Amino acid sequence: MAALICELSEAGKARQTIRKTVTVLSMVFDFAGLEAANPARDRVRVRLPREDRAEIQPSTAAHVEAVHRLLAPDYRLPLLVLDATGMRVGELERLSWGDVDESRGRWRISRTVAKTGYGRWVSVAPELFVVVLEPCPRDDRHPDRRVFEHVSADRLRTAISRACTAGGVPTFSPHDLRHRRISLLHLGGVP
């Protein structure tokens, strides 16, 4: 098995391709009902090659501010919310008024929306929370209605990318804002 992995690696195959090959082989050996231990599942001898990953460079506050100024008004508040909370863009897109806890200044990311499958509460800075609530009168906040009705993840990504280009700042995505927030929290001592 180690020889196969070495051969695939030398042939220039990506780590994910090699991992998938080993996974398929382990399933084939399991199906064949090998008497001995499955060689593809031997974690001591089966080592995937290391993969060099690009270092994440979170955007700076100046970059976010420059993009904020250039965005269409519908996308400015979602940008600030992503930057301030570290939410995933899909979580922001599917946030509904039924998830908003106005009395405690937070909103819920339900487990059906969360990528991890675990729900959680997101605390929001009071100043930002008020600005999010402001455009929609309380009578119109139906539980199933989306908080950011006119924002889709794809449109927000495209708008941010275009604003980065127009502003001459390094291109970042909504997910990069999550990395930025988590980096700032980590630097602040939050584990």
Q: What are the residue boundaries of the structural domains of the chain, listed by start?
A: 2-41, 61-187
User: Any idea what DSSP says for residue 117?
Assistant: S
Please give the pLDDT value at position 49.
Answer: 76
Return the pLDDT at 35.
67
Residue 39's pLDDT is 77
CA angle 46, 50, 56 (to 5 degrees): 145
**What's the confidence (pLDDT) of residue 144?**
95
Domain 61-187 has CATH 1.10.443.10: yes
Q: How far is CA 100 from its chain centroid?
A: 21
pLDDT at 85: 95
Q: Which of 105, 102, 77, 103 is nearest to 92 (CA)?
A: 77
Q: Are 17 and 4 in contact (CB under 8 A)?
A: no
Q: Would you say the pTM of this structure is higher than 0.75?
A: no
pLDDT tens string, the chain, 191 residues long: the values are 778 888 888 888 888 888 888 888 888 888 888 767 777 777 777 777 777 777 777 889 999 999 999 999 999 999 999 999 999 999 999 999 999 999 999 999 999 999 999 999 999 999 999 999 999 999 999 999 999 999 999 999 999 999 999 999 999 999 999 999 999 998 899 88
Q: Are 78 and 151 in contact (CB under 8 A)?
A: yes
Exposure letters 14-47 (e unless 16+ CB within 10 A, then b): eeeebeeebeebbeebeeeeeeeebbbeeeeebe
Distances (CA, A) of 41 to 4, 17, 73, 106: 14, 16, 53, 45
State how far Cα 149 lies from the chain centre: 20
* Spatial CB neighbours of 41, under 8 Å, sequence gap ≥ 6: 26, 29
- The per-residue pLDDT for 95 is 96
pLDDT at 14: 85
